[in-house]
Structure 1
Amino acid sequence: MSLPPAPGSPCPARRLVLDPLVGDIEGEHARLRAAGPLAAVELPGGVPAWAVTRQAEARALLTDPRLVKDIGAWHAWRRGEIPADWPLIGLANHGRSMFTVDGDDHRRLRAPVQQALNSRRVAGMRARITELTRELLDALPDDRRPVDLKAAFALPLPMTVVSELMGVGPGRRAGFRALFDTFLSTRTAPAEVGANQAELTAVMRTLADARRDRPGSDLTSTLVATRESDDPFTDEEIVSTLQLMIGSGYETTVCLLVNAVVNLSAHPDQLALVRSGAVGWDAVVEETLRYSAPNSNFLIRFATEDVPVGERVLPRGDALVVSYGAIGRDERRHGPAAGDFDITRSPNRHISFGHG
């Protein structure tokens, strides 16, 4: 059955094109904020969507039951207007996980992950993360030669931590990293999208099968063990959850580390505060997340009804992007100095890791 166009706001005459190469990320975020709380945007590949650009409206939309994660609510998807080789298809439609379902299904899929990542386990990881950090920093050249900090530190640290958490052996990590880099990139060539997704799914399935035969204390074993519970994960749910846990834990941390170094280097007065001990590193992390959100623009919800947002309407069946990058510098939330990198900012209540 064909779907009629969704009612609501008329088609905007001009959409803001979100640049996959992020050549002017701050300018893009400023243009989004200037467009109002709900901006008409064009995603890579010419896909139309809407972006929420202010914190108050984003918080409301992220907890609004009229917006769902199920891609089946996206009319353009159901009409076949989104190509199968769209570079972002892996993020929008990667299978059933807590990132793509709502309500009771979301709670069911989230519970084992929450239990596995309890405070005791996270605290126990601190020593290992500290050890890895020291090893990587000690390996950097000490003769003041330029170094690619992303390649030498920001990439290998989270990939190693996430791999150990998931039970991925050292011999597989380089391949994992290459697959996830392609999966998460907005610049992946259409011809690569399907093949990369198929290979990534196969690798995740192999990892799950290995832990089914030889369980350990890692998160993969925890997910596989739900097969023996009263409400087990399906194979698809295990694979999809693994894929998104590894991908999100890896990519967001890489961006956080790089952005923190860039911001401190560009603001020597802030760096001096940290070095003197006047301000702790936790404040650097929070301000970096606000000022330079790792997930700059994230396709995350689909409207099941017309939803008013400011003077506009998010039409039923349309896709919503949360522009965490624009939201982080929302003057309505953070005041007239929202555009300043200030690690002494208090309070600093951002939503760069989501809400609700």
Structure 2
Amino acid sequence: MTVIDLAEFGPEFNADPYPFYDRMRARGPVHEVCDRAGNRFWLIVGHTEAKKALTDPRFSKSAETVGMTLLDEEVIGRHMLGLDPPDHTRLRRLVAREFTVRRMDALRPRIEDVADGLLDGMAAEPGCRADLVGAFAFPLPITVICELLGVPTADRDRFRDWSNEVVAPTGPDTEKAAVHGLAAYLDALIEDKRRSAADDLLSALLRTSDEDGDRLSATELRAMAYLLLVAGHETTVNLISNGVRALLTHPDQLDSLRADFGLLDGAIEEMLRYDGPVETATYRFTREPVPLGGTVIPAGRAVLVGLAAGDRDPGKYPDPDRFDIRRDPAGHLAFGHGIHFCLGAPLARLEARIALRSLLERFPGLALDPDPSGAPLDWLPGLLMRGVRRLPVRW
């Protein structure tokens, strides 16, 4: 089988990977590829095959399967995304006791207040123009997750820089510095919570134990805080900005939603399917040779499951490149599938629901504000996150 060099696709692949995934899928749902850095791995682009891989125990989440240690796990500690049962089961059980629907629902008034305050700030911008990411899509979820976990307001700008570098690294040295910076910061924050516990999730995780008295160790607590902080806002930033961009480039769908906000929940699910915030799941590793989609992935190989690619598979969704807020996108993979399904999905949906309705009601004339020079949008690099660094809008 020919190894596909993703670097040959050029910058167009980063801006709009879907036509490339279509061409790959036409040749088969599973391919061996290499990236710009020369790393070789297997990429799954079919929906059926992606869903199977997300639940097949022959695909391990632990890098130890292939004798690797990932940077964040080496510095911060092993977290749920890099563990298999029973370790994953134990950690998820402990955090799920505190990450409850009741706790999430109780956040609604605060999320609405934060959204309204940010929109007030946007409305005060001169020239009725703003960067939607910087003014709204980023500060809303970062404020919510930081307040939920108990991160002081004064520390959030530093955290933003670290987090951006972790999910979309600009280079190995800057990525390493960001991970080390986060580790040191979280150690200090956790120690502060030990001395003076508060009514926040991190303090609750310090106290929590199951019926057998099991608790999170110091390293596990740091890794859990890292995962919740990073995953708890980066995905929602892109859900909001990608969703707004989809609406503004499909005015008929935007008009339908404005006319009937009863369509909002379905619209959010279609946004997740059409151009979701996570392009691929984090690495899996084959424990043994795995037949999938007419090919065999050898043992000991790294595998990326294409969530975005699978959600544009015409075998699952008719006319998949059409954005249709009345579509039934049930079964989309934007939050994953199986035991690693995103724990924060209810919070992300709640934030998106509040953010989108508040934004569209406040700015009925909202539109994209492209660069007069014709410069393209600045897309996040890499295959993990799907989104832009800035989204200029006007109203």
Structure 1 equivalent of residue 15 of structure 2? 23
Cα drift, residue 15 of structure 1: 3.6
Question: Given the alignment, which residue of 260, 270, 278 partners 2:243?
Answer: 260
Moved more, 139-148 or 243-252: 139-148
8 Å CA contact retained: 2:60, 2:286: yes
Q: Residue 268 of structure 2 aligns with which residue?
A: 285
2:55 maps to 63
Are 1:212 and 1:221, in contact at CA under 8 Å, matched by a contact in 2? yes
State the one-letter code of the partner of 1:135: G
1:165-201, Cα deviation, whole Å (9 max, x unpaired): 1100111111111111111114x22222222211111
TM-score (norm 1): 0.87
What amino acid sits opposite 1:195 in the alignment? A
Identity within the alignment, %:
34
Alignment of 1:4-15 (within 5 A): 12-15=2-5
- Equivalents in 1 of 2:306, 2:33: separation in Å? 11
Q: Which residue of 2 aligns with 1:308?
A: 291
Q: Which letter maps to 1:341? A: F
In 2, distance between residues paired with 1:334 and 1:257? 22
Q: 1:74 aligns with which of 60, 63, 66?
A: 66
Residues 115-154 of structure 1: matches in 2 within 5 Å?
Answer: 115-141=97-123, 145-154=128-137
Tell me, what secondary structure is at the counterpart of 1:39?
strand
For residues 92 and 22 of structure 1, the distance between their equivalents in structure 2, rounded to whole angstroms, comes to 29
**Letter paired with 1:73:** T
- 2:276 paired with 1:276: no
Q: Distance in 1 between matches of 2:217 and 2:163?
A: 22
CA distance, structure 1, for counterparts of residue 81 and residue 255 of structure 2: 39
Q: Which segment drifts farther, 12-21 or 242-251?
A: 12-21
Residues 318 and 162 (structure 1), Cα distance of their counterparts in 2 relative to 1, 3 Å cut: same
Distance 1:185 1:50, change over 3 A: same
Partners of 1:271 and 1:13 lie apart in 2 by 41
Residues in 2 aligned to 1:107 and 1:37: alpha-carbon distance in whole angstroms: 30
Alignment of 1:1-356 (within 5 A): 12-17=2-7, 22-74=14-66, 77=68, 89-90=71-72, 95-141=77-123, 145-186=128-169, 188-226=170-208, 230-277=213-260, 279-335=262-318, 337-356=319-338
Structure-1 separation of matches of 2:73 and 2:252: 38
- Counterpart contact for 2:277–2:334, Cα < 8 Å: yes
Counterparts in 2 of 1:67 and 1:94: CA distance versus 1, 3 Å: farther
> Counterpart of 1:313 in 2: which secondary structure?
strand
Alpha-carbon displacement from aligned partner over 1:65-87 (angstroms, at most 9, x marks no partner): 11111101125x38xxxxx8xxx
- Asked if 2 retains the 8 angstrom alpha-carbon contact of 1:92 and 1:300, the reply is no
Note the C-alpha offset of 1:34: 3.1
Q: Secondary structure at the match of 1:140?
A: helix
Distance in structure 1 (CA, Å) of the matches to 2:95 and 2:53? 25
What is aligned with 1:3?
Answer: none
Is the 1:112–1:222 contact (alpha carbons within 8 Å) kept by the matching residues of 2?
no
Contact 2:4 2:31 in 1 (8 A): no
Q: Distance in 1 between matches of 2:58 and 2:52?
A: 11
CA distance in 2, matches of 1:166, 1:305: 39
Shift of 1:13: 4.2
Letter in 2 for 1:212: R
Q: Which runs of 5+ in 2 are unaligned?
A: 339-395
Distance 2:30 2:146 in 1: 38
8 A contact 1:154–1:257 mirrored in 2: yes
Q: Tell me the amino acid that sits aligned with residue 186 of structure 2.
A: M
**TM-score w.r.t. structure 2 length?**
0.79
Q: Give the 3 Å change call, closer, same or farther, for CA 19–166 of structure 1 in structure 2.
A: farther
Deviation at 1:355, TM superposition (A): 0.3
Residue number in structure 2 paired with 1:5: none
Which deviates more, 141-150 or 319-328? 141-150
Aligned residues: 334
**Which amino acid in 1 is paired with 2:88?**
H
Alpha-carbon separation, structure 1, partners of 2:262 and 2:252: 12
- Alpha-carbon shift at residue 24 of structure 1 (Å): 3.3
Letter of the aligned partner of 2:171 in structure 1?
A
1:341 Cα deviation from its structure 2 partner:
0.3
Please list the CA deviations of residues 282-325 of structure 1 after superposition, one character each: whole Å capped at 9, or x if unmatched. Answer: 11210010000211123331100100012211111001101111
For the residues of structure 2 that align with 1:227 and 1:199, how far apart are their CA atoms? 29
Q: One-letter code of the match for 1:26?
A: Y
Q: Secondary structure at the match of 2:323?
A: coil
Contact 2:61 2:84 survives alignment (8 Å): yes
